[in-house]
Amino acid sequence: MTPSVVEAPVIEARRLTVAFQLPRPFLSRGPGPHVQAVSGVDLSIATGETLALVGESGCGKSTLGRALIRTQPIAGGQILFKGEDITGLSGEALRRARSGFQMIFQDPYASLNPKMRVFDTLAEPLRVHGGGARAEIREKVEEILDAVGLDRTYAARYPHEFSGGQRQRIAIARAVILKPDFIVADEPLSALDVSLQLQVLKLFDALRRRFSLTYLFVSHDLARVFGFADRVAVMYLGKIVEIGGAASIVARPAHPYTQALLDAAPSPDPVVEASREVPRLGGEIPSPIDPPSGCRFHTRCPHAMPVCRSVEPLMQPASGTGHEAACHLLGETAAPVHPPLPATR
């Protein structure tokens, strides 16, 4: 898939860092340790583009998404929204800016107020950001219900009266009703049955085309999103280790971690899946409190070299692929395609 319109970035992160201070250990003195959930990330998403951000749980994907829309405090770096620096915005200035970016949460059961009817849930963003008179607000609510495939009469109901898939459509409608420039979708498929996931992906794509939306689509499942996204960014322990066209990354992964994610993806053929030996990464996932020196993946990488333990790799073009990866092996071989990991039972 190719974006219908490719313009200047709608959102851009420059050396973005997000850190948390943990509680101090029992009987210890001084402050608790710091964790860098996002560490010096550079990222740019073009207008009309869908970028999928993938990686294992705890790698910092959701934190990065929240930081981009300023719902997560930032420890360092810069965020540009449509060319404007929004890093230091606060109060009324930040509230006004937020009409241009929204978020869809992972759990539709928790993200909707059970005491509010659907109409009020969808009308609230319009009221906060001056969406017009009551008749105009009602018209916009009905329009967005049509757009997400729900009956207009559902506006009078409460969230508990809907299925999980319908609730997620309501959550999507709430994010889209302001027609924002940028939407962060945080694992929006994980709470849905497999049979509903494809329907919701098609809905996301239809809304993108209808309202000229730009998405950051956070997911742990690379196999599920690569056919939906224009580009894919792979994240490991707070850093992006590979980024490029979705089809290119799936066909020729340049980073061993990306290869590991692809090898671990289940086959859609049940016969193949039943007989398949699932490859596994060695070692334990390092603690984000004390990440490894050099390449953060070297403790689990089957291709690690001495330089990986001491020197952090920089993003560089992966020859013949059209995308970039942070891996020392790219400087060692002309063809940056790694063999699958050995399978284990």
Q: Please list, in sequence order, all residues whose beta carbon lies within 8 angstroms of the beta carbon of residue 266, skipping any fewer than 6 positions away.
A: 223, 273
Q: With 60 as the cut, is the pLDDT of residue 52 above it? A: yes
Contact 171, 163 (CB under 8 A): no
Tell me, what's the pLDDT at 33? 77
Task: Kindly list the strands in the beta sheet with 34-46, ordered across the sheet, starting from the edge strand earlier in the chain.
Answer: 34-46, 9-21, 76-81, 84-85
Runs of H (alpha helix) within the chain: 61-68, 91-97, 108-111, 118-128, 134-147, 164-176, 194-211, 222-225, 246-251, 256-264, 270-275
Tell me, what's the pLDDT at 320? 74
Contact 24, 30 (CB under 8 A): yes
The per-residue pLDDT for range 5-29, each reduced to its tens digit, is 446 799 999 999 999 888 777 777 7
Tell me, what's the pLDDT at 146? 97
Q: Please list, in sequence order, all residues whose beta carbon lies within 8 angstroms of the beta carbon of residue 238, skipping any fewer than 6 positions away.
A: 36, 37, 38, 39, 41, 59, 60, 288, 291, 296
pLDDT confidence band for 257 (50 / 70 / 90): very high
Q: Please list, in sequence order, all residues whose beta carbon lies within 8 angstroms of the beta carbon of residue 248, skipping any fewer than 6 positions away.
A: 321, 322, 323
Tell me, what's the pLDDT at 332? 57
pLDDT confidence band for 103 (50 / 70 / 90): very high
The per-residue pLDDT for range 161-179, each reduced to its tens digit, is 999 899 999 999 999 999 9
Q: With 50 as the cut, is the pLDDT of residue 345 above it? A: no
The per-residue pLDDT for range 229-245, each reduced to its tens digit, is 999 999 999 999 999 99
Two tokens, residue 228: 């939906």
β-strand pairing of 182-186 with 215-219: parallel
Q: What is the CA radius of gyration of the chain?
A: 21
How far is the C-alpha of 18 from the C-alpha of 78, rounded, in Å?
11
> At 314, which helix (H) or strand (E)?
none
Tell me, what's the pLDDT at 7? 60
Mean pLDDT of 308-319: 92
Among 91-95, 110-114, 148-152, 283-287, the minimum mean pLDDT is found in 283-287
Residue with tokens 């609730």, as numbered in its chain? 167
Q: What is the largest CA-CA distance in the chain?
A: 67
How far is the C-alpha of 34 from the C-alpha of 229, rounded, in Å?
33
What are the distances in angstroms from CA 320 to CA 15, 167, 303, 337? 27, 43, 20, 10
Among 141-145, 188-192, 200-204, 338-342, the minimum mean pLDDT is found in 338-342
Domains assigned to the chain? 9-22+33-251 (3.40.50.300), 258-345 (no CATH)
Mean pLDDT of 197-206: 93
Percentage of the chain exceeding pLDDT 90: 64
User: What is the residue-wise DSSP string for 238-285?
Assistant: TEEEEEEEHHHHHHS--SHHHHHHHHHSPPSSHHHHHHPPPB---SPP
What are the distances in angstroms from CA 40 to CA 104, 237, 330? 25, 12, 21
> To the nearest whole number, what is the mean pLDDT of the chain?
88
> pTM above the 0.75 mark?
yes
Q: Please list, in sequence order, all residues whose beta carbon lies within 8 angstroms of the beta carbon of residue 308, skipping any fewer than 6 positions away.
A: 294, 295, 297, 298, 301, 328
Sequence letter at residue 73? P
Q: Specify which residues 52 forms β-bridges with.
A: 217, 232
The per-residue pLDDT for range 264-287, each reduced to its tens digit, is 776 666 666 666 666 667 777 888
Q: With 70 as the cut, is the pLDDT of residue 341 above it? A: no
pLDDT confidence band for 107 (50 / 70 / 90): confident
What are the distances in angstroms from CA 135 to CA 68, 103, 140, 151? 34, 26, 9, 18
The per-residue pLDDT for range 203-216, each reduced to its tens digit, is 999 999 999 999 99
